[in-house]
Amino acid sequence: MADQIDILSERERTILARYAMHSADSRGRRHPESPHPYRGPYQRDRDRILHSAAFRRLSQKTQVFAGEMGDYHRTRLTHTLEVASIARTIARALRLNEDLVEALAFAHDLGHPPFGHAGEAVLDECLRDVGGFNHNAQGVRICELLESSYREYPGLNLTDEVLEGQRQRANKRHHYTYGSNSTERVSSPLLEVQVVDAADSIAYDAHDADDALELGLLSAEQLFEVPLWSEARERVLDRLPVLNKRQLLRAIVHEIIDWQVSDHIEQTQQTLSEGAVATTDDVRRAPIVICPSEEFVQKKANLEQFLFDKVYRHPQLLAKREHAKQAIREMFEILIAQPEKLPPKFQRIAVFENLPRAVGDYLAGMTDRFAFEEHRQLLGQ
């Protein structure tokens, strides 16, 4: 086994940059485990997340558009897979730890409740008196407590680096104060964490517009008024002048992803070439490294403002969100009044922590379909 660990360490020393997170430098797990004979620690993390119940449930959770609106658009699971794909592309170009990046990407939306951000908003409102609700913090809670895959300990017993990255996402400033027996300090995320944040933004910039087009909530003409879409169309037509409308729109979505990925890689390589960031300790002390160029910052901002105004605030979506929020709110009120209706696992959480948090955990773990079914059951319909 020691030979296999040495082989992994040597491979990473050869392939990965010094500023990447090497498996040999991991701070380990809360519950110590023997090394696996042929999988590194971040490979194991990725696999544990992939095989978790919370990950499977993402297939039936809203990303932006509810399931009954069609079967083309992204779910929370397909979004996660797209983020992982984009993140691995950036990580490979920058010689970062792809296993860690993939584990972080698979974990990044585990804590999302049903009905997307509408579900998160109403749970945050319901749980205001006990600290509110944040899907990134809920993801940590799933990984450390709520998943029950192992007899020896609660949660998935992931490495400290994956949990740290998820905690950093829970902090809106993407900074995380940590320190056990040492003086606490504020640390910037590892580059692998920064890559997943960037990939998340790149993915939804492209696929939310794509889904809205397919559902008829937007027209191509509206999108062509957005500078990033207009410029992407010109770039595509310079290479492929003969495309029908559907082919053109698909090619533009691909171009927007590829263009942003290339921009992030080039901008990051330029920053790294300046030599201020050579090790992971440098990364933790430095400002955010992986980000778009100045040219792209405004383009992204314009597109995201357009999506907010024309897609996320679309009357059809708002109506569905209000229906979903009402269902969650009503279930929360019923379960607070009748906690005996909670499954035993969540009744135990209510005893050890508090009832509102236990109800929040139960509701957050539901898929869209199960939430509506449970709502009907609880209301006796």
Q: Residue 131 pLDDT more than 60? A: yes
What pLDDT does 185 receive? 44
Closest CA to 193 of 91, 63, 275, 299: 91
User: Average pLDDT of 257-267?
Assistant: 97
Average pLDDT, the chain: 91
Extended beta strands in the chain, E state = 176-178, 185-187
What pLDDT does 196 receive? 98
CATH architecture of 2-30+40-318: Orthogonal Bundle (1.10)
Q: Which pLDDT tens digit goes with each residue over 21-37?
A: 999 999 999 999 998 88
Q: Are 58 and 80 in contact (CB under 8 A)?
A: yes
**CA distances (Å), origin 243, targets 169, 183, 214, 238, 259:** 40, 60, 18, 11, 19
Q: Residue 71 pLDDT more than 80? A: no
What pLDDT does 67 receive? 60
Q: 46: part of which helix (H) or strand (E)?
A: helix 41-50
Q: Which pLDDT tens digit goes with each residue over 286-306?
A: 999 999 999 899 999 999 999
Domain boundaries, the chain: 2-30+40-318
* Contacts for 144 with CB less than 8 Å, ≥ 6 apart: 30, 154, 155, 156, 163
Among 70-79, 140-149, 234-243, 307-316, where is mean pLDDT lowest? 70-79
Q: Which pLDDT tens digit goes with each residue over 329-350?
A: 999 999 999 999 999 999 999 9
Q: Which pLDDT tens digit goes with each residue over 181-208?
A: 333 445 899 999 999 999 999 999 999 9
